Amino acid sequence: MLQPKILDLNELIVEMGRLLQRLLREDIEYKVQLGEPLGRVKADPGQLEQVLLNLIVNASDAMPKGGTLTIETENVCVDARYAQSRPPLAPGDYVMLAVSDTGFGMDANIKARIFEPFFTTKEPGKGTGLGLATVYGVVKQSSGYIFVDSAPGVGARFEIYLPQAADKVETVPAGGRAAKVRGGRETVLLVEDEADVRTLTCGFLTAAGYQVLTAVDGEDGFDIGNKFAEAIDVLVTDIVMPRMRGPELAKRLKRLLPDLKVVYMSGYTEEFGEGQNLLEGASFLQKPFSRDALLQQIRDTLKGKPAKQAERPAFSLRIN
């Protein structure tokens, strides 16, 4: 569910810095230019994290041969003249967040459709076409605006304008949010067929200290689980996958490791219910999930706390 807070975007970006850099290849230079002092905005911090992650993944995909990714923030006072040049932007005081890349860019036809749900320029099976649609939806829910400037061969620049809030910051001081949910040194077998979701989830886990083995589908997960059975503490698996579904994978690995903990992931809560052949005592993590939700679910599962069925969120996020 939406949980908007008064927050400082700079603190959010600094806190996520280590994770964001882990998601980028070594041939991509990561730059941050933060405006100081920065105004406050009212938004859900978990959703803004998803916005940043989606834009980072999108920018990385646009630079297959390397390049530079830049994140910027600054206060912007929009007057009537500037607002007319960027409809439907309204006059007012905003915090501007920009993510730029030096990738291959977009022509006018692609740029006109990038926020459409299910529109993607990736090969079949490489993307859902929902990443930028998600970004657009989150920005609109936060009473903001988003624009993209791009042309073939010159990269792309996404600018997000969020209204400045007059209230005091409600966020925990830098580092405090991460301290709320403890990571660990256990070994996680992560099985997820969507490459971007797998990459992001792996980034969350490794940044928290976990050792992570990744698999692209159920059969791959069973092969890896069989090979490294004694080292695996918890299985985190999508429910619906090609070649072997998550529940079947969990049952087969349980025969090898009776004490194995299991966390199912899915975008549909209906799959975590009666008649779905899921292991008793397994936990369920509703997609989309924040970093904190993932880490908390794994800690609770490892400690043997009762599994909880997550409520369907008001707005469903997806990775492009």
**Backbone torsions φ then ψ of 79, nearest 5 degrees:** -95, 175
- CA–centroid distance for 111 within its chain: 22
Surface-to-core class of residue 211, CB atoms within 10 Å of its CB (0-12 exposed, 13-18 middle, 19+ buried): middle
Q: What is the pLDDT of residues 212-261, one digit of tens each?
A: 999 999 999 999 998 888 889 999 999 988 889 999 999 999 998 899 99
Q: List the one residue out of 136, 140, 156, 112 whose CA is nearest residue 320.
A: 136
CA–CA distances in Å: residue 157 to residues 71, 99, 162: 10, 6, 16
Mean pLDDT of 55-76: 92
Distance CA 54, CA 319 (A): 6
Q: Is 1.10.287.3510 the CATH classification of the domain at 181-303?
A: no
| 201: confidence class by pLDDT, cuts 50, 70, 90 | confident
Q: Helix or strand or coil: residue 238?
A: strand
Please indicate whether residue 199 or residue 142 has the higher confidence score (pLDDT): 142
Lowest mean pLDDT among 118-122, 229-233, 236-240, 314-318: 314-318
Which CATH number does the domain 5-165 belong to among 3.40.50.150, 3.40.50.620, 3.30.465.10, 3.30.565.10?
Answer: 3.30.565.10
Residue 118, pLDDT above cutoff 50: yes
Domain spans in the chain, listed from the N-terminal domain onward: 5-165, 181-303
Q: Is the peptide bond before 88 cis (omega within 30 degrees of 0)?
A: yes
Contact assessment for residue 137 and residue 47, using Cβ atoms and an 8 Å cutoff: no
Given a cut of 60, whether residue 270 has pLDDT beyond it is no
